[in-house]
Amino acid sequence: MNILVVGSVAFDSVETPFGKAEEVLGGSATYFSTAASFFADVGLVAVVGEDFPEEHVSMLNQKGIDLEGLNRVPGGKTFRWRGRYEYDLNLAHTLKTELNVFSDFNPTIPQAYRDCPFVFLANIDPELQLRVLEQVKGPRFVACDTMNYWIEGKPEALRELLKRVDLFVINETEAREFAGVPSLVGAARTILECGPSTLIVKRGEYGALMFNASSVFSAPAYPLEEIYDPTGAGDSFAGGLMGYLANTGDTGEDNLRKGMIFGSVLASFNVEAFSLERLHRLSLDEIHSRYKEFKRLTHFEDI
């Protein structure tokens, strides 16, 4: 196993201008692990309730995701998220968050996962993300995500976490909110001073920017004609990126740039359908050919 992910496994109810889905499979760890599974062996740590159907478990199993760390709470109810997107699909409006089994979740990392060189702390309570780091044995590369819910609710724990991660992946509006700085470049500098050596700011249909102490890299989003559901784009992006890093074992800047493109490829497929529908019927050949399209999309000659 080379990647450990800890995050949410959820039932999502989502409304977009193009349709709606009720209580479908979602969650940050679900999207991440499915995207990463194209490149690496993933161990998933999360919690679900008794209401979590076997068909979802077998779908994740089919992708080769190790589920020893998926804890099913007897009598419990799975985490639920309800969200709505308007024509500006970059902005998710959270209508309802029901933590359910998540409120008492205390992640225990199975022994077999503790030596994983790559760790992704998907969007969950930052106090839980910190507890995960206490259990793993000197991982080579740690990345984390978060959202406004935790930036507003647990800012101290989040700052503590940032001292201990290599890569922080966050949405544009959340980066500004966290840093309290309106300029994106200014916000990036402020965040890098909190600890991570690399910051990736996700900008929805405008792509993503990667900042470190000395450079900035810009990855476009794939220009899709039809986007059905942006839910999970951020986690699929992170899964493609981390999966590629774990597969190659290279965390240098050039490889991070390639990883960002693989992340953008996975995110672009994910938004083509609701829930994990598109990722489940995706092939490695399709991933590689869209990677090449990204290359053409951004190529221009030197002066």
Kindly list the residues in this chain that would bind ligand AMP in the complex (CB under 6 A): 8, 10, 12, 26-28, 31, 81, 97, 123-124, 149, 231-235
Identity of the residue numbered 25: L
Q: Least distance (Å) from ligand AMP to the CB of residue 260?
A: 15
CA distance 186 to 180: 10
The number of residues making up the chain comes to 303
Nearest distance in Å: CB 271, ligand AMP: 9
The least distance separating ligand AMP from the CB of residue 12, rounded to whole angstroms, comes to 5
Give CA–CA dist 258/245, Å, rounded: 9
Phi then psi dihedrals of residue 44, to 5 deg: -110, 130
Nearer to ligand AMP, 98 or 250 (CB): 98
Spatial contact of 256 and 237, defined as CB atoms under 8 Å apart: no
Distance CA 14, CA 27 (A): 12
Q: Smallest Cα–Cα separation from 178: which of 202, 206, 198, 150?
A: 150
Give min distance, CB of 215 to ligand AMP, in A: 26
**Using CB atoms within 10 A of its CB, is residue 104 exposed (0-12), middle (13-18) or buried (19+)?**
exposed
* Min separation Cβ 236 and ligand AMP, Å: 7
Tokens of 31: 């999207």
Smallest separation, CB 137 to ligand AMP (Å): 25
Nearer to ligand AMP, 52 or 81 (CB): 81
Q: Which lies closer to ligand AMP via its Cβ, residue 47 or residue 117?
A: 47
Residue with tokens 């965390």: 251
Q: How far is the CB of 233 from ligand AMP (least distance, A)?
A: 5
Of 89 and 117, CB closest to ligand AMP: 89
CB of 214 to ligand AMP, least distance (A): 28
Q: How far is CA 39 from CA 86, 119, 243, 246, 288, in A?
A: 33, 15, 5, 8, 12
Evaluated on CA atoms 88, 168, 70, 67, the torsion sign reads positive
Nearer to ligand AMP, 123 or 251 (CB): 123
Nearer to ligand AMP, 1 or 238 (CB): 238
Buried b (16+ CB within 10 A) or exposed e, 146-170: bbeebbeebeebbebbbeebbbbbb
Instruction: Estimate the crossing angle of helix 284-298 against helix 253-270, to 10 degrees.
Output: 110
Task: Please say which residue, 100 or 123, places its beta carbon nearer to ligand AMP.
Answer: 123
Considering beta carbons, is residue 117 or 174 the nearer one to ligand AMP? 174
Evaluate whether 67 touches 284 at the Cβ level (below 8 Å): no
